[in-house]
Amino acid sequence: MRVLSAEDVDAALPMDTAIAGMRRAYAALASGGVEAPGVAGLPPGRGRRPGVSTIPVRVRTAGDEMLGVRIETPRSGTPGPGHPAGQTAVLLLDPATGEPEALLEGEALCAFRTGTTSAVATDLLARRSSRTLAVIGTGVQARTQVQGVCRVRPIETVRVYGRDPDSVRRFAARVTGLGQGPVEVVVEKTPGAAVGRADVVCTPTSSSRRVFADRELRAGVHINGVGSASPSMAEIPHRTIARALLVVDDRGSALTAAGDVIQAIEQGAITADHIHGALGDLLLGRIAGRSTPDQVTVFKSVGLAMQDVVAASLAYQRAASRGIGREVRWR
């Protein structure tokens, strides 16, 4: 069995390879090629002791099959110094024998799969002329949002807003040095300044409140809402959701976990029928994408364990062929 750390995952998973893999994965989801029965686990214990949640997934794409389990250990309350809010790992299994093939650090995988999914959605929904990207948030997933979008659109400028000045500076330095990255990185003082001149907006935040106002958006913008993933969290204004062409990663998940969608329904801004369709349906041509240059489009993602297993499989295959990671004797 091969063990891949976060650094190993970064080394083993090129963005272009991951984007192509995520396209196949979402097409498989729309075609009935994904089995994911749901979450099983234990809640967090007393004294900030972690809980455990597991999601088994089987993915069948053209000529390939993947089997794995996403494992999370969430903590309750505020974690102590040096302790993260939770840990994530993905166990990859041989789909024919069930033998463990690889154990991969999940945070790096999550960043890659979210960035690649935004890339797929941007390629399908954003205007071809898009040159400016706004990123709200500078956490672990923000960098892969830039990497992904820059692979599918000729981004020249990234406008970034974050609450912590040190994190913003580190993020700007890392993004500026990316291959196929933007020519210019501009640090903005407000979210409105960041999104006001953007053709594409990404929101990899943990905010439970709207991170910009609808009036601050320019015509024809595409938004990747990838941060909030619970009914109590909403990054995107109801008015934006209501006037946008709304595409989700999965309709059922959006109606149970996407606070942006759920709260807009509860407030009467939209009905469930406002959801135009799922990303896989767009990939397969079952639904149409952008219809006019001035149309606002929104891709709302809550994240699917399927993404983690697909990203894990891609990383494992490349790591095994290049000797990345550590091989552990299983028996």
Q: Average of pLDDT values for 196-216?
A: 92
Tokens 């409105």 found at: 192
Tokens of 120: 């797929």
Beta strand pairing status for 2-4 and 326-327? antiparallel
Q: Is the pLDDT of residue 179 over 60?
A: no
| Confidence band, pLDDT 50/70/90 cuts, at residue 83 | very low
Q: Does residue 83 or residue 282 have the better pLDDT? A: 282
Q: How confident is the model over 286-302, as pLDDT tens digits?
A: 999 999 999 999 999 99
pLDDT of 181 reads 65
Give the residue extent of every domain in the chain. Answer: 2-109+306-327, 110-304
Per-residue model confidence as pLDDT tens digits over 3-56: 999 999 999 998 999 999 999 999 999 999 999 988 888 888 877 788 899 999
pLDDT in the model for residue 251:
95
Architecture of domain 110-304: 3-Layer(aba) Sandwich (3.40)
Pinpoint the alpha helices (H) of 231-326: 238-243, 251-257, 259-266, 279-283, 305-322
Rounded Cα distance, 120 and 181, in Å: 17
pLDDT at 80: 46
Specify the CATH superfamily of domain 2-109+306-327: ornithine cyclodeaminase, domain 1 (3.30.1780.10)
Q: Which long-range contacts (CB under 8 A, 24 or more apart) does 319-323 make?
A: 319/2, 319/4, 319/8, 319/11, 319/12, 319/102, 320/2, 322/12
In this prediction, residue 82 carries a pLDDT of: 45
The predicted structure's pLDDT at residue 177: 64
- With CA atoms as reference, report the closest residue to 144 among 221, 83, 226, 86: 226
Sequence-distant (≥ 6) Cβ neighbours of residue 250 within 8 angstroms: 29, 278, 302, 304
Kindly tell me if the per-residue pLDDT of 84 is higher than 60.
no
- Take residue 117 and report the two structure tokens written for it: 């999914």
Mean pLDDT of the chain: 91
The answer to whether the predicted template modeling score (pTM) of the entire model surpasses 0.85 is yes
